[in-house]
Amino acid sequence: MNFFKRAWLYLTAKKGKTAILILVFTAIMVFVLTGLTIRQAANQATENAKKEVGASVTLTTDREKLMKKAMTTASSDGSPVRIKETPVPLSQAEAVSKMSDVKNFSFSTSASAAASTGITPVTGSDDTSSTDTSNQKEIPGRIANVGGETSKSTIAINPDFRLTGVNDLLSLPTFQDGTAKITSGRAITEKDQGTNNVVVESQLATANNLKVGSTFKLKDEDGEEHDLKVVGIYKTTQVADSMAQRMRTMNPANTIYTYYTLANSFKEGATDTSEQTVDSAIYYLKDPAQMATFVTTASKKLDTDTMTLSTNDQAYQQMLTPLNNVASFATNVVLLVAAAGVIILSLIVILSIRERKFEIGVLMSLGENKARIIGQFFVELFVIMVVSVGLASVTGNFIGNAVGNQLLSQQNTTQQEQAKSTTETQRGHGRLGNIGGPFVANQETAKQIDHMNVKMTSKTIGLLSALALGIVFIAIFVASIGILRLTPKTILTNN
């Protein structure tokens, strides 16, 4: 009789023991499968997160290096410390934007402007930027030179408006996170290059009866007038505190958006032949995990003596932290349950062999090979494994979803409490008000992933079967050590 038939006869004859083994093995497989499916779902959610929320790298002037350089110069010749601002050359910013890792990018620059014709700034009750003087001409709050022309330095120092130049308005963090949104018309895009199109804030538009298609004039930092046309109106939820309201340019309502080349023309000393520059460039990456590699490669295209790349993947990390914790827990569950399964099944098989010593002795006395006897035990456990894997597969999705989403909910709750505690601590230290610029979001947050779609796949079942087979092999190997030392005479004599 071959050992396959003997294994089958034993399993059908010992229905009680077979049922117990199936229950034990099924319980082990259910835990292992739960861990595998949760881990797979967490990894899939992580991949989806990379597509939904990216990371950004900002290219700006390295003010820290410029400060050190200015201090070194001042200490050597005894002159006052003067920091010479060096804007980012457009050519270098564009070179980085063409890298394959960049999904989207946003160039931005700022200039000061004064009211001329058809527009006046929005002022707060505490506005002290205007100067009462009998020599004022046309522009309130500006000191006039002889002949009525506005001083160049006055507009730059105490302007009416902040003119912000961009290439893609909707890519700015304040528009991405909903702090600002277009309410009428359209945003500034690449097609506005070479035009005089602008987007104004709704309060400013209401105060000056501006609408899409309206025109007005502003003076640049050199006092030259420019005709501008409104193509869009936006609304912002940013509010200037009492300190910010003392300067009109710090009032969010007085921020006007245009294309960055037009904003550059408003800067003091700008000419038609001036080199195009930007104050900052934000690059949105396709894969946040490649941020470090991107920074290293991009730095080779830049003048690192005057510029720096700063990274921001806060939203990505916020979203991934709970998922990583859940995936780590699931991995630990798989490892611990697999180890426990090996131990439990090994003990069960060893006890079973002790009870079946007489059967083993008889088979060996009849000339049965020890390997075939061990093969019989393996076939018995293998059949039980197949049944257990099948039963575990039936309940895998239900248990995996219940446990996985409960774990994710707990992790999200913990992270929310930590974030709340951090926010309260920051408020306790005091802040100067919510007057953040348009290039940086006030507080970058990410929408938490509150649900995982735990679903078995053929890959999961295959991995479960491989782990189960490994458990069976190890259990049989450990238990067979005793069989290899046995002889028929010893077994039968002792019995």
Distance of CA 438 to the CA centre of its chain: 20
- Residues 15-34 have a mean pLDDT of 86
Q: Identify the CA nearest to 346 among candidates 21, 23, 33, 27.
A: 21
What's the confidence (pLDDT) of residue 152?
Answer: 45
What's the confidence (pLDDT) of residue 268?
Answer: 81
For residues 262 and 109, the answer to whether their CB atoms sit within 8 Å is no
Question: CA 201 → CA 161, 252, 253, 255, 258, distances in Å?
Answer: 11, 8, 5, 7, 12
Q: Would you say residue 96 has pLDDT above 80?
A: yes
What's the confidence (pLDDT) of residue 405?
Answer: 59
Question: CA 204 → CA 155, 199, 400, distances in Å?
Answer: 19, 10, 55
What's the confidence (pLDDT) of residue 207?
Answer: 92
What's the confidence (pLDDT) of residue 148?
Answer: 41
What's the confidence (pLDDT) of residue 491?
Answer: 64
Q: Would you say residue 31 has pLDDT above 50?
A: yes
Model confidence at 255, pLDDT cuts 50, 70, 90, reads: very high
Q: What is the pLDDT of residues 303-340, one digit of tens each?
A: 877 788 887 766 666 666 777 777 777 778 778 888 88
Distance of CA 123 to the CA centre of its chain: 38
What's the confidence (pLDDT) of residue 200?
Answer: 94
pTM of the model: 0.55
Cα angle value 251/253/258 (rounded, 5°): 110
Model confidence at 234, pLDDT cuts 50, 70, 90, reads: very high
Q: What does the alpha-carbon distance between residue 440 and residue 174 come to, in Å, rounded to a whole number?
A: 7
DSSP class per residue in 208-265: TT--TT-EEEEE-TTS-EEEEEEEEEEEE-----TTGGGSGGGSGGGEEEEEHHHHHH
Which of 145-159, 202-216, 445-459 is predicted least confidently? 145-159
- Backbone region of residue 325 per phi and psi (left: phi > 0; alpha: psi in -120 to 50; beta: other values): alpha
Model confidence at 28, pLDDT cuts 50, 70, 90, reads: confident
In the numeric block, the tokens 């947050």 are attached to 445
Crossing angle of the two packed helices 370-429 and 314-355, in degrees rounded to 10: 150
Q: Which of 64-73, 251-260, 457-466 has the highest mean pLDDT?
A: 251-260
Q: When comparing pLDDT for 433 and 14, which is higher?
A: 14
Provide the token pair at 93. Answer: 């910013």
What's the confidence (pLDDT) of residue 230?
Answer: 95
Which of 34-38, 102-106, 452-456, 472-476 is predicted least confidently? 452-456
Tell me the β-bridge partners of 215. Answer: 229
Q: Would you say residue 429 has pLDDT above 50?
A: no
Q: When comparing pLDDT for 115 and 326, which is higher?
A: 115
Q: Would you say residue 444 has pLDDT above 60?
A: no
Cα angle value 212/215/217 (rounded, 5°): 140
Which of 397-401, 426-430, 457-461, 484-488 is predicted least confidently? 426-430
Burial (CB count within 10 angstroms: exposed 0-12, middle 13-18, buried 19+), residue 492: middle
Q: What does the alpha-carbon distance between residue 423 and residue 425 come to, in Å, rounded to a whole number?
A: 5
Q: What does the alpha-carbon distance between residue 305 and residue 399 come to, in Å, rounded to a whole number?
A: 57
Residue 360 phi, psi (nearest 5): -65, -40
What's the confidence (pLDDT) of residue 357?
Answer: 74
For residues 277 and 88, the answer to whether their CB atoms sit within 8 Å is yes
- Residues 84-92 have a mean pLDDT of 78
